[in-house]
Amino acid sequence: MARSSLTHTGRVVALAAAILIMAPLAQAIVVAPHHTFLDHRTRSSVIHLHNGGTDPEEVAISFIFAYPVSDSAGNVKVQVFEEPDADEPSAASWIRAYPRRMMVGPGQTQAVRLLAQPPADLPDGEYWTRAVVSARGAQIPFESPDTAVKIGLTLETRTVVPVTYRKGQVTTGVVMTGLEHAVEADSVVARVGMRRTGNGAFLGTLHVTLVDGSGNVGAEVHRLVAVYHELTRRVAIPVSDLPTGPYTLQVRVDTQRSDLDPQDVLPAQALQDSLMFWLP
């Protein structure tokens, strides 16, 4: 009897695992744009939610304070701050979505207005929040190999969209705080430390290039970066096809962003650094 119970439990666990694997594929709501900007003059913007699925989706929008952070190895994640420090430029408490809850039918697009209601004494600068778009579709029935067990699950997906609010004079820039490299397996790993200057987040692109002893480009990698305070970015460059010898690791960071409207990107001076090493 115990063995039968264990087998049944195993089937349910396996079925649940399969559903979790399928969940990312079930996302129907697409949010555009993927980064929204508001200014103190208009205090509003619009995002669009499109349901590309075949079932209606129940959507709710909330706001959190979060931005990318990194560890010393250069691994980046978006960290949520439940209670931001007083000196953090959080807009999470005074930006609202209208409507906040809605039903989006299959094939439909819903416009949602983001409206800012900042404090009257808000200082000039840039303020951040992230809109969390949670979508719940129709219940999906599942039947386990044991026909006596039937499961109905409702999948919920979440899309997190950066929202930036700007008032008055906002500037940005970045300084490099370190450049290191290491040869790991078939890659050269660069770790680039950056610190933001000014009162606005630095949105740009990190270009990492390997140049051989003859001045030829052996490999290059480009990564989008968003430096809100400080960030170390790890970039791995495949080198299995490169011959041994001396190389120069060149790093450049600038405000080129192919994914954003140029008018939304704060201008800043490009910076570059380099180091030489031997590829064994």
- Average pLDDT in the chain: 88
Q: What is the pLDDT of residue 137?
A: 82
What residue has token string 């931005």? Answer: 67
Which helix (H) or strand (E) segment holds residue 17: the answer is helix 2-22
Q: Of how many residues is the chain composed? A: 280
Q: What is the pLDDT of residue 142?
A: 55
pTM: 0.84
Residue ranges for the chain with pLDDT beneath 70: 1-27, 138-154
Taking Cα atoms as reference points, which of 220, 57, 20 lies closest to residue 134?
57
Which helix (H) or strand (E) segment holds residue 154: the answer is none
Q: What is the pLDDT of residue 28?
A: 86
pLDDT digits (tens, 9 = 90+) for 16-55: 333 333 344 456 899 999 999 999 999 999 999 999 999 9
Burial of 181 (0-12, 13-18, 19+ CB in 10 A): buried
Q: What is the pLDDT of residue 57?
A: 95
Q: Which CATH number fits domain 28-167: 3.40.50.300, 2.30.40.10, 3.90.650.10, 2.60.40.10?
A: 2.60.40.10
Q: Do domains 28-167 and 172-279 have the same CATH topology?
A: yes
Domain boundaries, the chain: 28-167, 172-279
Provide the 10 A C-beta neighbour count for residue 158: 12
What is the CATH number assigned to the segment(s) 172-279?
Answer: 2.60.40.2360
The contacts of residue 250 (CB under 8 Å, 6+ apart) are 207, 208, 209, 210, 211, 272, 273, 274
3-state SS string over 191-239? EEEEEEEECCCEEEEEEEEEEECCCCEEEEEEEEEEECCEEEEEEEEEC
Gap between the Cα atoms of 268 and 164, Å rounded: 17
Q: What is the pLDDT of residue 7?
A: 39
Give the strand order in the sheet containing 36-39: 36-39, 156-167, 125-136, 57-64, 101-104
